[in-house]
Amino acid sequence: MVNLLKLVIGVGVVFKMYELDADLLEFFFYNYITQNFKHVENKDFYDRMSEKLYKPEYEEIDRLALEQIKNIFKLSLWQKIKLYISGYTFITYAKRKNWRDFMPFYVVKCSKHKILFFDYPHGYNAVFYCPLCEEEYKQKVVNSEHKLLL
Q: What per-residue confidence (pLDDT) applies to 82?
A: 93
Q: What per-residue confidence (pLDDT) applies to 68?
A: 74
**Highest mean pLDDT: which range of 5-14, 111-120, 138-147:** 111-120
Q: What per-residue confidence (pLDDT) applies to 20?
A: 54
116-119 and 103-109 beta bridge pairing? antiparallel
What pLDDT band is residue 15 in, cutting at 50, 70 and 90?
very low
**Tens of pLDDT along 20-67?**
578 788 888 887 777 777 666 777 788 888 788 888 877 777 676 777
In single-letter form, the type of residue at position 13 comes to V
Q: What per-residue confidence (pLDDT) applies to 6?
A: 37
Q: What per-residue confidence (pLDDT) applies to 95?
A: 84
Kindly tell me if the per-residue pLDDT of 9 is higher than 80.
Answer: no
Total domain count for the chain?
1
Whether this model's pTM surpasses 0.85: no
3-state secondary structure at position 67: helix
* Helix boundaries (H) for the chain: 2-18, 22-36, 43-53, 63-72, 77-86, 131-149
**Tens of pLDDT along 70-124?**
777 788 899 989 999 999 999 888 888 888 888 899 999 999 888 888 899 999 9
3-state secondary structure at position 127: strand
Structural domain including 122 reads 2-149
